[in-house]
């Protein structure tokens, strides 16, 4: 149990750090990109999660420890639903309902499609 907890913690730490770096890079490159940095990270995370889930079904490629490291740890740390919810709410509070609806709707729809596409990429 302790070994598995450590594996998830390492993956989560790396995922969180990479999320921060990617979001900050996007924020510096594009003005007013704040909620969309989270959007990009979450969509990439959904795609990666779909790929990893597809490979995890083929136990020869991803064993249980690697599954914990990459899926529970890295993807769990890399993507963030709480930030998504906060930024969506902030757009509504800032009287930007069209942007809020687009951000929330596209995050859900494109995220689901990315996860599905990533999963399908692992199949012959």
Cβ of 14: how many Cβ atoms within 10 Å? 16
Question: Can you give the pLDDT of all 124 residues of the chain as single tens digits?
Answer: 999 999 999 999 999 999 999 988 888 888 776 778 888 898 999 999 888 888 888 776 778 898 899 988 999 899 878 778 878 888 999 999 999 999 999 999 999 999 999 999 998 8
Residue where the block lists tokens 């993807």? 75
Task: Convert 66-101 to b/e letters by CB count within 10 Å (16 or more is b).
Answer: bbbbbbbbbbbbbbbeebbeebbeebeeeeeeeebe
pTM of the model: 0.78
Contact in structure between 4 and 69 (CB atoms under 8 Å): no
What is the structure's pLDDT at 109?
Answer: 96
Q: Which residues contact 13 (CB under 8 A, 6 or more apart)?
A: 73, 77
């Amino acid at each position: 149990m302790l070994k598995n907890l450590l594996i998830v913690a390492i993956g989560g730490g790396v995922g969180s750090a990479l999320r921060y770096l990617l979001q900050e890079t996007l924020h510096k490159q594009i003005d007013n990109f704040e909620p969309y940095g989270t959007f990009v990270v979450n969509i990439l995370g959904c795609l990666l999660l779909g790929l990893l889930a597809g490979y995890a079904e083929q136990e020869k490629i991803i064993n249980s420890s690697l599954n914990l490291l990459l899926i529970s740890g890295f993807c769990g740390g890399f993507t963030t639903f709480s930030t998504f919810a906060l930024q969506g709410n902030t757009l509504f509070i800032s009287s930007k309902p069209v942007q809020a609806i687009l951000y929330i709707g596209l995050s859900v729809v494109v995220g689901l499609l990315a996860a599905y596409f990533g999963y399908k990429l692992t199949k012959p």
